[in-house]
Structure 1
Amino acid sequence: MTTQLAVMDAVQVLAAKALPELKRIYTDLVPTDFLRPCLLVQPVTTTREDAAQNLERVTDYYTLTVFDETDDYSNSDTRRLLEWQQRVMDLFRPGYLEVDGRALSVKASTGGRDWDKAYVDLQFSYHDLRDETPDTTPKMGSVETNMNLKG
């Protein structure tokens, strides 16, 4: 079973490797006087739908917030901020993210921006077992068929 924490960890590892200029990657709320530039990874919502008898279709939504350096008025340079947003979007250009040996399908989209931060929205779609406990139902032992042929 794939967990939110496993997905968040995989996003962190990918971002840290591809964007070494980030001073920090947060997975909780950012603290007061946090370091910039940085990234905040937040889960938004998860939906689970029936896909088969013991299978469910899972869709996880996350928001990545990239905080750029600011001037004396707490504003970031618009061009640089949009470049950061594009670089974060490009992390997911392959269309999947490896999480615990699985390649989860991912869609990335821009989520707007404020004066000092920009957002990238992620949507992961995958199938998971509904219950990972082994099936203990007894299996059929044998089958006997009696056929009579008439001449």
Structure 2
Amino acid sequence: MITKKKVYTALADALKDAFGRPVYLDFCPQDFTRPCFVLEGMKWSRGTVNRHTVEEALSLTITCLGAVDSQGDSDQLELLTMLEELDALFRPGTFPVEGRAIRCESASGGSSYNQVQAAVSFWWEELREEEPRLPTMETVHTQTKN
């Protein structure tokens, strides 16, 4: 079963492997360094697919923080390159988590003088944890005409 935490962890590991930069999950990390990524803004939902299956959805923001100069600005081309390389991770439309390929989609989430953001959404289906309790018929009476 894929959980939201497993998706979060798989994403952080993929970013570390692909870019060799730190990935932070906290707002005030110890020993913070740039350039890096910050995962934040998690939203999730669960919907019914059918009687036995639910669709899980997770959306979050990846903030790419570039190296800064003495004025606190980052090289805009470096930020754009980070964003393009980040987008390449999601271009196939699936993302590996726990040996499964879950659906994904990315979009630009905005930018400023020293950072760019990407909004990423993931979707996957899971079996319900419990069989839904539905009313059943106990007795059926039928009549046939000859």
TM-score range relative to shorter protein? 0.7 to 0.9
Aligned partners of 2:99 and 2:23: how far apart in 1?
A: 22
Unaligned runs of 5+ in 2: 133-146
CA distances 1:47-81 after superposition (whole Å, capped 9, x unpaired):
11111112111211011111000111111111111
Q: CA deviation at 1:134?
A: 8.2
Matched, 1:9 2:2: no
Task: Report if aligned partners of 2:52, 2:131 keep a CA contact under 8 Å in 1.
Answer: no
Corresponding residue for 1:53? 51
Instruction: State the TM-score, normalized to the length of structure 1.
Output: 0.80
Going from structure 1 to structure 2, the CA distance change for 1:116 and 1:30 (only over 3 Å counts) comes to farther
Contact map agreement 1:30 1:40 (CA 8 A) in 2: no
Describe the SS at the equivalent of 1:52: coil
- Residue type matched to 2:19 in 1? L
* Aligned counterparts of 1:25 and 1:33: Cα–Cα separation in 2: 12
Matched, 1:77 2:75: yes
Of 61-70 and 9-18, more deviation after overlay is shown by 9-18
CA positional deviation for 1:89: 1.1
Distance, in Å, in 2 between the alignment partners of 1:96 and 1:40 is: 21
**Shift in Å at residue 42 of structure 1?**
2.2
Identity %: 27
Residue 18 of structure 2 is matched in structure 1 by 18
1:5-36 deviations in Å (ceiling 9; x for gaps): 1001111221111112x1x1111214377200
Distance 1:49 1:126 in 2: 11
Q: Distance in 1 between matches of 2:35 and 2:16?
A: 12
What is the rounded CA distance, in whole Å, between the counterparts of 1:36 and 1:103 in structure 2?
Answer: 31
Instruction: Give the one of 37, 48, 67 matched to 2:35.
Output: 37
Question: Which structure 1 residue ranges, 5 or more long, are not aligned?
Answer: 136-151
Bigger Rg, structure 1 or 2 = 1
Distance 1:32 1:116, change over 3 A: farther
